Amino acid sequence: DVYAPGFEERIDAAVERSTERYRDNPWLIGYFTGNEPAWQGIELRVIDLILEESDERPIKQELIRYLDEEDTPERRVDFVHQTFRIFIETVDEALKRHSPGHLNLGIRFGGGAQEEVLELCKGVFDVFSFNSYSLAPPHELMDMFMEVTEMPLMIGEYHFGTVDRGMSQSLWQVDTQEERGIAYRHYTESAYSHPGLIGTSYFQWPDQDLTGRAYDGENLNCGLVDVTDRPYPHLVDALSETSKRLYRVHAGEIEPFEHVVERARGYEHIPDLWNE
């Protein structure tokens, strides 16, 4: 609750604890400060939920004062956006105090962001980060992110997996381990052919546990290594080959890897076998 007494002090203490061991690390680029905010596009529902809270909640008290001046749908949306801006500014100020010299990589938005929200991020984050699960990140969307935020871009999550290991389909699925490597090369080199991109973060280093991660049961074959630390050779080789080319791809000196896995598909196109 950004309106609660002591909010800034609690954020400051949390950031200090989180960054203490990394403060003087010269190899650290920066910090992500959040992941895939779920309130975009449902701001009016968020307001309804706040109004259902106890009257003692500071955010509810602030909201009522705000709406007493004028209560319109537009002002309700603005309240959510203003609250978000207070939060990200407070976190950024704490980062600058406790880990100077490292970048604020921002909140990894899930796929896209409203232009109004992009404007709020301008001047706070050093980099605009977003997660993009697709065959390749859409350059038109990246152009829009750069134009509105005036920031360089980073992709916070992407991956390719298959079901041949007995685990669930990944958010983007191919048919074989070899195709995982092909899809990785196509996505990554396509991403770096955009002049505004400064980094990508593959999700994730190891496969998820077959029994599922603790809080939601997700158990994807998405790792560079399996749960016993054995590398997936096709994917590791693809990563190595692409890494040799990235600077030239990014500079526009060579074309990105063009081989496309024809049957690659996103999770929304994969049948739910449990319900068939």
Residues 167 and 238 in one domain: yes
Residues 4 and 116 in one domain: yes
Residues 97 and 189 in one domain: no
Domain that includes residue 236, residue range:
158-276
- pLDDT at position 169 is 78
- pLDDT at position 272 is 57
Residues 68 and 183 in one domain: no
- pLDDT at position 271 is 59
- Rounded distance between C-alpha atoms, residue 250 and residue 190, angstroms: 9
Residue 235 within a domain: yes
Residues 196 and 239 in one domain: yes
- Rounded distance between C-alpha atoms, residue 36 and residue 252, angstroms: 31
Of 178, 134, 181, 176, nearest in space to 155 by CA: 134
Residue 60 within a domain: yes
Residues 188 and 114 in one domain: no
C-beta pairs of 73-78 under 8 Å, 24+ apart in sequence: 73/44, 76/43, 76/44, 76/47, 77/43, 77/44, 77/116
Among residues 96, 131, 166, which one ends one of the domains? 131
Residue 271 within a domain: yes
pTM for this entry: 0.92
- Rounded distance between C-alpha atoms, residue 45 and residue 19, angstroms: 34
| Regions in the chain scoring below 50 on pLDDT | 273-274, 276
Cβ atoms of residues 78 and 4 within 8 Å: no
